[in-house]
Amino acid sequence: MRSHNILILAAALATLTSCTLLSPAYGDGTEERPEPVAKIIDVHRHGTWPTGDDDAYRSQMLSEMSQNGVRLAVISITDYDDVENWKNVAPDAFLVGVMLGCPRNLAEPRYNCFPADEGWVDIEWLRTMVEHGKIEAIHEVIPNYYGVSVGNPRYDPYFALAEEYDLPVGVHTQRGPPPKAINSMRSDPDCCPDYDPEMGNPALLRRVLERHPNLRVWIQHVGAGRAGSYEPHWDETLALLRDYPQVNVDLSITNGPLPIELYDESLRILIEAGFEDRIMMGTDNIPTALVLGRLESIEWLSDDQREAILYNNAERFFQLK
C-alpha cells in the first residue's frame, strides 16, 4: 500500500504557480516522502536562470534528484558558458538543451537568455556543440512569450538542424503564465511585451512537422487549461499524436500546481486515446517529491503505466539505450 500525506501535498500545491524556481527538495525534511522509484527521468527542467548562482543551484538540484531517485534530467541553459557550468561538471546527470526564442524585455536586461544574440542562440555555435556531444536537445522553445508562431521562418534553421542531427525539441504549449505572474521568470513587469497566448496552440506545430517530418518533438505542459477560462487544446494535441508517432508529451505544470482532478483527467484522456507510451514526467523545477506524490495518488494507474511515465517512455524518446 502506498502511503501519502495528501494534506501536505495539497498545502504545498496551494503555494505553487507555474515555472517555479528550484525549491528545497521537500519542505524541511520532516514530511512523509514517497518511496523513491528505481528509475526516473525528468524531461523538463531549467538548469540556469540569468541572475542565479549556478554552483548553488546545481548542487541543490543534484541533491534533490538523488533524494528522489531521478537518474537523469533534461535541462535548459540560457547562455554560452552554461555548457561548462552544467554538462562538464555533471555529464552523467544531465542532458543539456538550449532555450530558444527568448522574449525581449522593456528594460535591461533586454533578453534573459543569449543576450548577445537577442535571445536566439548562434546556430553555428549550436551545431558545434551538438557535434561535440555537449548539447543534446533544443529545450525550451517558448513562442508565446516571443510572440511568434513556431511556424515562423525564424525558427526554421534550428528545426532543420535538429532534424539533421536527430535532436529532440521541447516546445512550450498552452498559454503559460502571463507577464507579471508571480513566482515566475516572467514576474518582472518589464517582461514579454510581445506575449501572445495564442502562440501556445499545439496545432501550430503541424506546419513545422510537415516541413520536418522526422523531427522529434515533445509537447510541454499538455492539459494545462481550465474550462471556461483558457483552452487545453486537447483536439489539437491528440491529432498531432495520432499523425506523428515521434511526438511525445510532458504534463509538467499539469502534474504540478494545477488541480489534481485536472492531472487525473489529462492522464485519462491520453491513455484512453492510446498514448500511454508517449507520456513523460517533467517537473518544470517543481519539487520532485510533490510531483511523484501526485502521480502515486492516482490509484487507477498500473505499475507498468507509472514506470512508463517515469522512465521507459523517456528512455525510448531520448534514445538512451
pLDDT tens figures, 299-314: 999 999 999 999 999 9
User: What predicted TM-score, i.e. pTM, was given to this entire model?
Assistant: 0.87
Side by side, the strands of the sheet bearing 94-100 are: 40-46, 70-77, 94-100, 137-141, 169-172, 217-220, 247-250, 279-280
Confidence (pLDDT) at 84: 87
Measure the CA–CA gap between 25 and 164, rounded to whole angstroms: 38
For residue 287, the one-letter residue type is P
Least confident of 19-28, 81-90, 217-226: 19-28
Phi/psi at 254 (5° precision): -65, -35
Cell numbers for 5, please give them.
Answer: 500525506
Across-strand partners of 41?
Answer: 72
Low-confidence winner among 61-75, 115-129, 178-192, 203-217 (lowest mean pLDDT): 178-192
Where residue 106 falls among pLDDT bands split at 50, 70, 90? Answer: confident
Q: In the chain, what percentage of residues exceed pLDDT 90?
A: 67
Question: Residue 185: which pLDDT band, with cuts at 50, 70 and 90?
Answer: low
Q: Is the pLDDT of residue 31 over 60?
A: no
> Which CATH number is correct for 31-317, 3.40.50.720, 3.30.1490.20, 3.20.20.140, 3.40.50.300?
3.20.20.140
Could you read off the pLDDT of 233-291 as tens digits, one per residue? 999 999 999 999 999 999 999 998 889 999 999 999 999 999 999 999 999 999 999 99
Per-residue pLDDT at 187: 66
| E strand segments, the chain | 40-46, 70-77, 94-100, 137-141, 169-172, 217-220, 247-250, 279-280
- Residue 204 is classified by DSSP as G
In this structure, which amino acid lies at residue 181?
Answer: A
**Cα 106 to Cα 189: distance, rounded to the nearest angstrom:** 9
Using CB atoms within 10 A of its CB, is residue 124 exposed (0-12), middle (13-18) or buried (19+)?
A: exposed
- pLDDT > 70 fraction of the chain, expressed in percent and rounded: 83
| 3-class state of residue 98 by DSSP | strand
